[in-house]
Every structure is written in C-alpha cells, then in structure tokens.
C-alpha cells in the first residue's frame, strides 16, 4: 500500500527558495550599515537590466508601485484610457485607476488566457494612451502584434511582467518591448521579500522614474516635482542579487516540471504554449470542466495544494462593478470558472510531481 496523504508532506502551491546565499547577503548589508538605496540597489538594477537586455532598471517597493510609478512617469491621468486584460491580478488595471485614468478591457484568447491582440484595435479611441499587456502565468503575450498596433496608433506599451522574469518572445526578453514592470513578491519566480523593478531603454523615462520614486528629489532636499516614496532597500536588493544567480536554473526546472505534468495529466486541459515564446511557468494552470471545487477538494485530500488565478475577472470585481463596468467578456469569464493552478515550482521533487499526476488523474478517472 502507498502511504496515506497524511503521512506525506503537503505539496504547497508556491515555495520561496531562500538559502545560505540570501542569509549571507543580508548579513553583509546589515554589517555595512548602508540600508537604503545604496550600492546593492545599484548593482541589482544593473544586473536586472542585463537580464532584460535594456539600458535601465529602476528598483521600487513592489510590483504595484512599478506599475503605478510608470503611469505617473508617462503622465497618464484623468481622461486617458489604458487598454488591458480583464483576467489578471487586480493591480494590473488598478494602476490606471490610481492615476485617474480608465482601464478598458479586451477579452482574452481562450487558449492562453492572455489578452487577445486581435481585439485591441476595436477598443482604441482618441483617449487611448497605453496598452498594458500582462504576461500571465509566465507566458509572454503576442508582443509582435501588440507593438505593431502601438506603433501604428502612437501608444505607450507597459508590460506587466510581474509573473514573467526571464520569459522571452521570439527570443527577446519581456520587459524590453515596452516599459517592463516586475514584482518580487515571495511567490514570484524570484523574490526580494517585497519589491519591484521597472525596465526601459528610454533615458529620460528612467531619470523621471528615479526622481518620482524619491520625492522628486534631484539633490538632497531639492525637489523638482511631486514625487513619492517608492524606494527599496539594500537588504532587498542583496536578496535579489542572490536570487538572480539562480533564476535561470529555477526557470528551467519550472519549464521541465510543466512539461512533465503536461505529458501525463489526463481529463483536464493542460496549458497551451503559444509559438515562439519561452513560458517560464510562474503558474501551471489547467482548465477543469465540471466541478472545480470537488476537484480542488480531492487534490487537497491527496496532499496537493492548488489555487485559482483568478476566481473573478477584474470587470466583475465589486470595485469595478461600483465604477459602472458592465462589459461582457465571455472568455475571461469562462477562464475564471475553469482555471486551477497546480504546483510547478522548482522545489518539487520527482515524487511530488508523480503525486500531483496521480492525484489529478485519479479524479479525472472518476468523472
């Protein structure tokens, strides 16, 4: 007999990997006494810019702050519209609300759950300033189509790459097409505890971002514009530098885990990999037709953690309902009813992967 699930450890949906490197890096910062916006932050920015193949990276307090600050740096505001996806974490579209602009939703592709680029042009108006694609689950959007539309209509592109560190489209890193926004929250492909970063090739934009994240301050106590406090610390940057060393192998492991699952799962729709993309599997998200709650309960009983990303599309969130949104976006709505994320993180062992497969396939066998 196999051991019962209670004798085996529970497989969590996400697991930040923090080891001796991170501890030593943090201790070195504490011993230096330079805690904020010092050498480690500058080094982390340089290394992250290199990862994305861009000239500048500007570290900030969170992924949400990266999106918000980018909106402010582009002076997007009241009267402006930002075209984005209804199927993401709420911060993706809220950043438009933060600056008084209006998110405009385009439904997603039913296979990838990414914004359907062919639906964007119909939503462009004279008020549109930006397109904000989200590289959901670690899979890049169709950046060829999106950049072509943006160029033709003279629109800003802000990539929400909060789930896609190291992903590429046609070999080009995400965060290098438009202005890239990344998060380092603990569940992401790499973490700094909390944190975020903005990537760009635009010198003037980078300078504006640096001013705005620090009270609009150009020299000590000289303030050029209304700025904010969105800085990050050397402690976080030191953790990030240690994590960056391992991001490549971790992403490879995520991709290998994803492939392993996709080759073996039955009775569910496995993730669709669009062409010419490196999908870094921030999430491994299947589609379940039928009773998703029962399926999730079954997996929990088998010791497999799951999560729903996301149970409500953004236009159905109470906040957006209260703002008058009444869009009908059938693909995003169907995805919200059917998606289920399984563990794919690089801490999974071979036996964890086999337990996930067995747990999924044993439920599918019952239906």
The residues that touch ligand PLP, with contacts defined as CB under 6 A, are 62-64, 88-89, 91-92, 134, 160, 162-163, 183, 185, 196
Q: Which of 268, 259, 263 is nearest to 306 (CA)?
A: 268
Question: Residues 336, 147, 86, CA angle at the centre, nearest 5°?
Answer: 15
Nearer Cβ to ligand PLP, position 192 or 302? 192
DSSP 196-261: EEEEES-HHHHHHHHHHTBTTEEETTEE-S---B---BHHHHHHHHHHHHHHHHHHHHHHHHHHHH
Six-digit token string for 127: 């008020």
Nearer Cβ to ligand PLP, position 29 or 181? 181
Nearer Cβ to ligand PLP, position 146 or 360? 146
Nearer Cβ to ligand PLP, position 160 or 234? 160
Q: Supply the minimum distance, in Å, between the C-beta of residue 260 and ligand PLP.
A: 24
CA–CA dist 136, 116 (Å, integer): 12
DSSP 85-133: -SSS-THHHHHHHHTT-EEEE-PBPTTT-SB-GGGTGGG--TTEEEEE-
CA–CA dist 61, 284 (Å, integer): 27
Nearer Cβ to ligand PLP, position 265 or 314? 314
CA–CA dist 107, 90 (Å, integer): 15
Residues near 202 by Cβ (< 8 Å), separated by ≥ 6? Answer: 56, 179
Q: Supply the minimum distance, in Å, between the C-beta of residue 309 and ligand PLP.
A: 8
Q: Supply the minimum distance, in Å, between the C-beta of residue 183 and ligand PLP.
A: 3
Q: Supply the minimum distance, in Å, between the C-beta of residue 314 and ligand PLP.
A: 11
Nearer Cβ to ligand PLP, position 62 or 70? 62
Q: Supply the minimum distance, in Å, between the C-beta of residue 126 and ligand PLP.
A: 28
Q: Supply the minimum distance, in Å, between the C-beta of residue 195 and ligand PLP.
A: 7
Nearer Cβ to ligand PLP, position 117 or 190? 190
CA–CA dist 141, 166 (Å, integer): 14
Nearer Cβ to ligand PLP, position 136 or 241? 136
Report the chain's terminal Cα–Cα distance, integer Å: 24
Q: Supply the minimum distance, in Å, between the C-beta of residue 89 and ligand PLP.
A: 4
Q: Supply the minimum distance, in Å, between the C-beta of residue 115 and ligand PLP.
A: 12
Q: Write the DSSP symbol of residue 291.
A: -
| Phi, psi dihedral angles at 85 (to 5 degrees) | -95, 145
CB 276 within 8 A of CB 169: yes
């Amino acid at each position: 007999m196999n051991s019962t699930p209670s004798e085996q450890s529970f497989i969590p949906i996400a697991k930040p990997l923090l080891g001796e490197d991170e501890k030593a890096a943090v201790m070195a910062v504490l011993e230096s006494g330079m805690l904020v916006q010092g050498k480690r932050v500058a080094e982390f920015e340089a290394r992250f810019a290199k990862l994305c193949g861009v000239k500048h990276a500007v570290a900030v307090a969170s992924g949400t702050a990266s999106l918000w600050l980018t909106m402010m740096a582009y002076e997007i505001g009241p009267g402006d519209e930002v075209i984005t996806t209804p199927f993401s974490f709420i911060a993706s579209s809220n950043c438009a609300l933060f600056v008084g602009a209006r998110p405009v939703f385009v439904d997603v592709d039913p296979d990838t759950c990414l914004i359907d680029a062919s639906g964007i042009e119909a939503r462009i108006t004279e008020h549109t300033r930006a397109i904000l694609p989200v590289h959901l689950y670690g899979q890049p959007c169709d950046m060829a189509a999106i950049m072509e539309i943006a160029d033709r209509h003279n629109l800003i592109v802000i990539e929400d790459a909060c789930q896609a560190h190291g992903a590429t489209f046609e070999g080009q890193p995400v965060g290098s097409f438009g202005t890239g926004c990344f998060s380092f929250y603990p569940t992401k492909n790499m973490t700094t505890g909390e944190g975020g970063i903005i990537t760009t090739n635009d010198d003037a934009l980078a300078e504006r971002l640096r001013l705005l994240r620090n009270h609009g301050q150009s020299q000590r106590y000289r303030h050029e514009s209304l700025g904010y406090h969105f800085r990050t610390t050397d402690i976080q940057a030191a953790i990030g530098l240690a994590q960056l060393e391992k991001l490549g192998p971790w992403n490879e492991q995520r991709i290998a885990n994803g492939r392993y699952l996709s080759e073996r799962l039955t009775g569910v729709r496995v993730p669709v990999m669009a062409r010419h993309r490196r999908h870094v599997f921030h999430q491994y998200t299947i589609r379940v037709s039928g009773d998703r709650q029962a399926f999730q309960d079954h997996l929990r009983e088998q010791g497999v953690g799951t999560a729903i990303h996301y149970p409500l599309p953004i236009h159905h969130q109470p906040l957006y309902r209260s703002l008058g949104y009444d869009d009908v976006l059938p693909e995003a709505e169907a995805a919200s009813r059917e998606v289920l994320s399984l563990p794919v993180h690089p801490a999974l062992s071979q036996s964890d992967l086999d337990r996930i497969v067995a747990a999924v396939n044993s439920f599918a066998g019952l239906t």
